[in-house]
Chains A and B, each alone.
Chain A
Amino acid sequence: MVADYVSTISRTEVKKLQIDLTVNGTIESHNVEARTLLVHYLRDNCGLTGTNVGCDSSSCGACTVHLDGEAVKSCTIFAAQVDGQSVTTIEGMAEADGTLHPMQEAFHANHGLQCGYCTPGMVMAATSLLKEIPDANEQQVREGLEGNLCRCTGYHNIVKSILACSEGGEK
């Protein structure tokens, strides 16, 4: 019985597609099923586990990455949809020599993280926000973080961190 079951599974092997992405400036090419989500492509195929899966239903923002420079939720995009495009993950934010991105530095300086699970998504959402509104004020930062949840409820210092990087925020 078990053998029959196993052979049934192996017969229904799903066709794979070659998906090429530029991830943090490096060309990645992997054969994956069409149903592979971008977040799993990044974590399982590229080995970049900084991008987290939180709610897995496009609410919490822990999976936020940049797609061609804009924040998106990688749990709600099939890798096949973005074949050939450019993705930046949290691993691509610091300099090659380890110097932190100013936003990472601000989170560090302002205690912008507690457990840290939401942090990669917060940093990616925040940098995308400041690219669109370089002088974002507190209201704009809070609204810009609508798509990111912090279960530690550490929003105050997250907002403070982002304002430290904003041209319109308190220094």
Chain B
Amino acid sequence: MESDNNIITMDHIDKYIFDAYGKPLHGTNVKILDDVHFDMRKAEVHILIGENGAGKSTLMKIIGGLIPYDSGTFTYMSKPAFFKGPKDSLSQGIGFVHQELNLCQNLSVAQNIFLGSEPLKKNSRFIDKDMIYEKSAALLASLGFEIDPHELTSNLSTAQQQIVEIVKVLSYNCKVIIMDEPTASLTQKEIDKLFGIIRTLKEKGISVIYISHRFEELKEIGDRLTVLRDGKYIGTIDMVDFDYDTIIHMMVGRKLGAMFTTNHKTTTDEVLRVENLKIAQRTAPISLHVNKGEIVGLSGLVGAGRTELAKSIFGVRQYYGGKILYNGKELIHQVPKKLIQDGLIYLSEDRKVEGCVLPMQIDQNMTLAALHQIFKNGYIDKGKERNICNQSVGELGIVSQSLQQKCNTLSGGNQQKVVFAKWLITEPKLMILDEPTRGIDVKAKADIYKIIDDMASKGVAILFISSELPEIIGMCDRIYVMAGGTIAGEIIDKKSFTQEKILSYTVT
């Protein structure tokens, strides 16, 4: 067909769940990429979309040479592709602009741009410093950005740093450039400039893989679009045929109701009330309330201040004025220890950093927040600990070899269930759940929705923070939408829960 016009062709790509070093984890057969197809033509902007955890980043990491694939075929420029690492793929013409900023904050803009490929002075082994600054200035100017190459990177705004990242990749004469959510931190003006750059690249015959969640901009910039869902390839369409509903259907692909269980009944007994709380000096005050047996959604884009609000309530972050009432009593100088005893818990969005102690055993993690329960007669009652944990393992359906298994050998879904078990053992009355389903597979997600619903049925008040709109819509009784550090809107009527309505509040 158009195979000679293809610069990248990937077929039947499988990738098993892997650890931080890209090696497959022992004892799991969870595929994060399952029979994925991807092809890319010369000089096109190919958009890749999918929900969180759909496998977009993993696929890009394979193309960028960061991790190997487990099976399948991958041809680059009509030859089987083999990359030893990111540096190797870069030298072969594949550039990667990462979502997270990967710049050295202590170096200047120009030093960052030429990091690892510094030009040398003639007949010497010394870096040609003048050349670095000259070239950087030329590069930045040709793209129309006013950034001083001598400036220290730490003095730049996030958006400017993002631009430096892009310029850095451009300095390498790449044939393919991967951009992972490049516009997430850019202003409209900068986005327009970036799109200008992308169009220029296209004219030069360079292909761009573009990952984004912003529907508005996709049609403007893309040529074709590939959808991934739960690690599987769903389809590729030409942007001429772009239709909002089709894409959403491809991305979500299932009846929302099937995933979610909602058997709980709401009450009017108020458990949590936040009045005029400010999460930063200059943001508008926040007011909200959560009732017994109610699941209240807290939606919004990343950076809208949801986690900051949750951490303020949980007493691990400073807030600026306002009142937090829990069961009618005002919380003053609250600390996690006391709050947990009183039944207020916070499930952190970052499982690996704040949720689970990965090198510890399953049972040790589960009882970590309720040590007083098993500490009887002056010692830890291991028998009682085992009973409590076995019960949790059964109730939550945790798949493990034994309670002594270390948590870093579990899949993400099971790790998250262990964290859930930790909090359920403390018998909470109010649960603040921050992205409880992030990065876990569909089966585990459905299980966790069931756990959340069960807790609400038992009368637990739940504040449910999530970026994934389907689960907010599917699970919640009431939705708050946050934007710019404050509550931008509240949606009370279940009938008017739509992605469009929620998204409309996130744009300020």
A, B from the same assembly: no
B: residues with CB less than 8 A from A are: none
